[in-house]
Chains A and B, each alone.
Chain A
């Protein structure tokens, strides 16, 4: 009995990806832009469906934005459309980055100084993002129930342990091999 939902053509799909891939300057809100485009502006998905896909996108490796686009592309327009959508989303930024790389490579204090300033700003943005995400460690799959103290402390220790191990020079692959099972134990057995 639900009203028929609009289905994107491949051209629609590519246009949405190209617009976000070209115009999303300033990194913070790309997921929101995407949500606006596919849920609110065009009604290709419901809010619940989008939230569900976002969870899958966050779980698997890769940038959330790309994972989201890939999953939705496979679902809405098939494999070829999905892959072309990824190219539309990722290629403009990649080409622009390469085009600009010559400017930053100039070995002069008045280029390398500001560059370092930008890198430091980027790191601060990363730290602010982390700061906003840390409270989420107190959640469980049920939004109404906070995690037990034991689980929270465990997650905090795991976070610090992972960071310490990587900074201490442990290989990423070893760290993941140990840390992922610990994370799973904290979530499913405690």
Chain B
């Protein structure tokens, strides 16, 4: 029963994940953490893992499934989050082949852009709040440092994640 509920959560979020899973993070966190399925720390771990591994960052949903219900949960997380979008692309393929008009699709995409960027902004802010915990100064310091390094160098995303990890550890040492 728990697995069915979990599948329904991921399936629903998959269907509205415009721009990817990162646009639905605040609501996903609310549903899972306030619903008592995982902890805020667990959510943060899944977010980090989704960014570290190769392939789509929706891998975080497989991790969340694992945290909730072990191997079966992981399978449910994997199938639940991908099934909606993949099915919709199938429908889109069937339909778009018949009425193909690029301008029209491009205009729809333009119409959705501010919505997606707004959702992603909210995700960034809400996740920053979770990540900082009680250490606001340290969090802001690490964010500024990583931002400057990212702007000045061409380091890969993975290197930047490790710089963030080192910076936070250094901050902990300094007190």
Contacts from A to B (Cβ < 8 Å)? 20-28, 30, 52, 55-67, 70-71, 74-75, 79, 82-83, 86, 89-98, 100-101, 104-105, 109-110, 112-130, 133-134, 136-137, 139-141, 155-156, 158-164, 166-167, 171-173, 175-176, 179-180, 183-184, 186-188
Residues of chain A contacted by B6 (CB below 8 angstroms): none
Residues of chain A contacted by B58 (CB below 8 angstroms): 63, 66, 90
Contacts from B to A (Cβ < 8 Å)? 14-22, 24, 26-27, 41-42, 44-60, 62-63, 66-67, 74, 78, 82, 84-86, 88-90, 92-93, 96, 102-103, 105-115, 117-128, 130-133, 135, 139, 142-143, 146-147, 150-151, 156-169, 171-172
* 3 closest cross-chain pairs (CB), A and B: A62-B85, A117-B168, A162-B118
CB pair B150 A97 closer than 8 Å: no
Residues of chain A contacted by B133 (CB below 8 angstroms): 116
Q: A70-B86, A162-B122 are in contact. List 18 more A-B contacts (CB 8 A).
A: A22-B54, A22-B55, A60-B18, A63-B58, A67-B85, A71-B89, A91-B78, A98-B63, A104-B45, A105-B42, A109-B172, A114-B169, A116-B135, A118-B161, A121-B164, A163-B121, A172-B27, A184-B108
A97 to B46, alpha carbons, bound, how many Å?
8
Instruction: Pick 25 A–B contacts, CB within 8 A, sort by A.
Output: A55-B106, A55-B109, A61-B17, A62-B20, A63-B17, A64-B20, A66-B56, A70-B86, A75-B93, A89-B55, A93-B55, A94-B55, A94-B78, A104-B48, A110-B172, A117-B168, A118-B164, A119-B47, A122-B51, A124-B143, A137-B114, A137-B117, A163-B119, A166-B122, A166-B126
CB pair B157 A26 closer than 8 Å: yes
A122: which of B47, B118, B147 is its contact (CB, 8 Å)? B47
Pair count A-B, CB < 8 A: 331
User: Main secondary structure on chain A at its contact with chain B?
Assistant: helix
Residues of chain A contacted by B90 (CB below 8 angstroms): 70, 74, 79, 82
CB pair A187 B89 closer than 8 Å: no
Nearest chain A CB to B159 CB, angstrom units: 7
B147: which of A74, A100, A124, A162 is its contact (CB, 8 Å)? A124
A97: which of B53, B92, B124, B151 is its contact (CB, 8 Å)? B53
